[in-house]
Every structure is written in C-alpha cells, then in structure tokens.
Structure 1
C-alpha cells in the first residue's frame, strides 16, 4: 500500500506541476478528463481539480462493475490527482517561458506522471482509467488509446474556444501519449 501511495503521490505531483506551471498559464488543454476540466475552467471558471473528481464518477461506477481492481486504484488516483491540482494551483503563472517551452516541459512532466501510474496499473482517473480498461479488453496499447481520446477532446475545445493556440495541445497529447506508451511498454529487468 505504501508503494502504491508513493507512486500515486509522485505521479499526481508531476501531473499537477505540469498543468499548473506550464499548461494553465497559456489556456491549453491536455486531453482526457483533465482536458475537459480545463475546458470547463476556461469557459465557466469551474475549479479544475473538483471538476476532474466529479467527472470521474460515471467512469468509477463503470469500472466498479467491470473490474473492481481498476475501480479502487482509479478512485485513489483521481481523488489524489484532483486534490493535488487544487493544492498546486498557486503555481499558475509563476514561471514565464515561451509557449513552446511550456508545452514541451509541461507535457513531459504530465507524461512521466501518467506513465508511471499506468505502468503500475494505477490510473490518475478519467479517460486514463477508461483507456486502461479498453487496453485490457482489446490488447491495444494504452498510450495509443489515450492519444485518440485526447485528440477528440482537443478538437472539441478548439471548436468551442475558437483559439488557434489550442493546436499546441495536440503536441501536448502527442508527448504525453508517447511517454505513456514508452513507460508502459518497457519490460522490467528480471534479476535472478
């Protein structure tokens, strides 16, 4: 249990710092329920972490019915991730970098956080949990499923916000998806 909490704490911190320090200042989105939560924040000012937790409820219930193991890990991951986003919110705007640098650094931090959690069968919640379940049933890599779902969310955000800067979000999800794919595909070294 301590190892699981350490992994969730590390992953959630990476995701929260990536979002608050590098993604949020430019009003970008990163896909998944994090992306939908960011979109709701930009449109109506809703709290990102709280919306993230609330949006996860239907997926939690679906996971509970289909696979309780993923449900429990998903609830833990989503509640801690959502809480960490709110905790680290004051970081928003404290670092001033060009948009491309923020996109790359933020995506790397988020990608490492998500990848480490997924590698240990812990979902940060939301679409990642759904992607884990789909990957389990279809044998398609979880990173590929995540990128596909995220692209739909970003294109919806582009349509609603009509801000061409959101195209940078496609780079964000590509980096996150690539890192999640690499981290979840890498075989553990077996020591004899």
Structure 2
C-alpha cells in the first residue's frame, strides 16, 4: 500500500508537469506535444473541441486498445496519469499563466518540462498515453529506452498536423519531440538515488504477470 501511494504521488506529479508544459508553452502555438497532442490540436481545429477533453478522449481510446499489453495495473495507472494531465491542461489554459510569447523560447522550455513529466510517468511503469502507450510496449519488447520509438511514432502525426494547419509546425514539433524524448531517456535511465522515487507496483505487477506467462 505504501508503494502504491508513493507511485500515485509520482504519477500525479508527472501528469501535472506534463500538462503544464503542454498548456503554457506548446499548445498556445499549436505545437503538438506528441501523437495524442497532435490529434487533439486537429480536433480542436476542426471541431472546436476543448483541448483538455480532446486530449483525454484520444488518450483513452488508445489506452483501451493497449490494455492487453500493458496489463490492468499499468492501465489503471496510465488512465489516472492521463486524467491528471488533461485536468492540468485545463487548469493552466488561461492567459494568466502565459508570461512569454516567443515561440522558440516556449518550445525549448515546454519540451524540457514535457519530457521531464513523461519520464517520471514511464519510470513508474505507466504510459503518458497516446503514442506513449505504443512506445512503452516497443521499449518493453526490445528492452530499450522509450524515447526513440516515441519520436518515430509521433513523426507521422506531426506531418499530418503541419499539412492541415501550418507547415512550420512540423519543424517545431520535430524539434520539440527531439528535446522532450532526450529528456525522457535521461530521466528513464537515471539510477535511483533513493528507493522512493522509482518504486512502482505497476512494474512489479507486470513482471509477476510475465513470470506467470513463462511458466505456462
């Protein structure tokens, strides 16, 4: 129970940090934070759907598809993280919280903050949603850090978003993803200084499930 509480605290922090980076620095310039963020921007552009709800809807749909590979424990944690992120996007989606207007400054700072939040989530064995679900599955199968597959998966969404809204968004989105995935890998590969930050019941549940499968 103690470990579960610790992990949920970290998932809450990761989700809030991720949402802050999106709402304050990236979304005001229509820069997709990732595959799910790109689709959310398109839904907002086409249907005038609130970004916070569009992000939640895309992430939830992707999560339902991936529950089998993530396992129930990781799926619950991922859904919780997605909800926290969406609520944070809604909370910070006010001009009051946007002190800067330079797109390149916002892109760099927002991408670093985003990657830090996503890295915290992935260290807890849960996904940040969207393409992060697939990236986590690929990383698990190939035993690699999830940054590279996350970057490759999001590229196609960026191209679609840029072709519909504005082509400069493609360059901005790719640069944002490069910075954020570097930060993701940095956080993901950090060796735990204390047992507190990285103890995760979701990873333990997944490993137990894998051992059971091998025995069968």
TM-score (norm 2): 0.80
What is the match of residue 36 of structure 1? Answer: 39
- What is the CA RMSD across the aligned residues, in angstroms? 2.0
Q: 2:82: which partner in 1?
A: 78
**1:100 pairs with one of 104, 113, 117:** 104
Contact preservation (8 Å) 1:22, 1:102: yes
Match of 1:26 among 21, 24, 29: 29
C-alpha displacement of 1:102? 0.6
Stretch moving more, 142-151 or 181-190: 181-190
Paired residues of 2:151 and 2:181 also in contact (CA < 8 A): yes
Deviates more, 1:85-94 or 1:70-79: 85-94
Aligned residue pair count: 191
| Structure 1: 5+ residue stretches without partners | none
Q: Distance in 2 between matches of 1:138 and 1:69?
A: 21
| Residues 92, 111 of structure 1: alpha-carbon distance in 2 compared, 3 angstrom cutoff | farther
**Under a length normalisation based on structure 1, what TM-score does the superposition of the two structures give?**
0.89
Structure 2 distance, partners of 1:31, 1:93, is: 22
Larger radius of gyration, structure 1 or 2?
2
Q: 1:190 to 1:77 in 2, by over 3 A?
A: closer
In structure 1, C-alpha distance between the alignment counterparts of 2:38 and 2:94, rounded to whole Å: 19
Of 125, 130, 138, 1:126 maps to: 130
